Amino acid sequence: MKKLTSRQNEVLGFIKEYLSEHRYPPTIREIASFFSISVKGAYDHVKALEKKGHLRSGSSKSRALEIISNEESRDEEVLDIPILGNVAAGIPLFAEENLEGHVKIPASQLSRGEHFALQVKGDSMQNAGILDGDTAIFLKTETALNGDIIVARINDEAVTLKRFFREKNRIKLKSENPVYPPIYTQNVRILGKLQHLIRNYE
């Protein structure tokens, strides 16, 4: 496990004590109240503890925090996610749906379900923090909510990475770069929803 800051240790200690006393975890708001910090500040501490392998929050419920033991952390499942080619974050490209290798991701960082990875090409999603050369991990799904970042096939040909919006009689696929106009279509098939990014700084 990664080393914790003093405040992260305090937050983790409070969660453990609360669990011991109440038999259920505190809410983010209760953590914020105990430390006299903002709800966002408490949320950020919890997310940091999750990232460092000390907590797990596997649901959207308000009391879903779980303490991860040292044994669990050492034995954490690592998934081999297949890399299936490229996806455009700019002008749509054809996806090369052939296996190009695998990338290893801790299971705790992904939702349950089937996943796949694509190499990002282009800069149309740069304002969402998705850059050319990133490896994007997707949850395989055919549905999405407005605002989700998805990979989709357009007109049974081009595959692109965009933000999804359902309008009255069409789908809008929005870039996160003002240089690129939105794509409007009625023929789109969602392939996956963005879950995780990997970036190589070399």
CATH code at position 70:
1.10.10.10
Instruction: Tell me the pLDDT band of 178, cut-offs 50, 70 and 90.
Output: very high
Residue 19 pLDDT class (50, 70, 90 cuts): confident
What's residue 72's pLDDT? 42
Residue 18: pLDDT band with limits 50, 70, 90: confident
Choose one of 39, 55, 74: the last residue of a domain. 74
Tokens of 48: 């940091």
Q: Is residue 168 part of a domain?
A: yes
Claim to verify: residue 164 and residue 132 sit in the same structural domain? yes
pLDDT, tens only, 98-114? 567 788 888 777 888 88
Is residue 60 predicted with pLDDT exceeding 90? no
**Paired strand residues for 103:** 81
| Active-site annotation, residues | 124, 162
Write down the mean pLDDT value for the chain.
82
Looking at the structure, do residues 88 and 181 belong to the same domain, yes or no?
yes
Residue closest to 80 by CA, chosen among 110, 47, 120: 110
pLDDT above 70 for 28: yes
The per-residue pLDDT for range 120-132, each reduced to its tens digit, is 988 999 999 999 9
> Which H or E run contains 158?
strand 158-166
Q: Which of 93-97, 109-113, 186-190 has the highest mean pLDDT?
A: 186-190
Pair 91, 106 in one domain? yes
User: Is the predicted pLDDT of residue 74 greater than 80, yes or no?
Assistant: no
**CB–CB of 35/10 below 8 Å?**
yes
pLDDT band, residue 64 (cuts 50/70/90): low
Task: Taking residues 39-52, report their average pLDDT.
Answer: 89
> Could you tell me if 147 and 106 lie in one domain?
yes
**Residue 164 pLDDT greater than 90, yes or no:** yes
The pLDDT-based confidence of 172 (bands split at 50, 70, 90) is very high
Task: Look up residue 130 and give its two tokens.
Answer: 């998705």
Do both 138 and 89 map to the same domain? yes
The CA dihedral of 68, 69, 70, 73, to the nearest 10 degrees, is: -40
Q: What is the pLDDT of residue 126?
A: 92
Asked whether residue 1 is assigned to any structural domain, the reply reads no
Q: Which domain holds residue 27?
A: 6-74
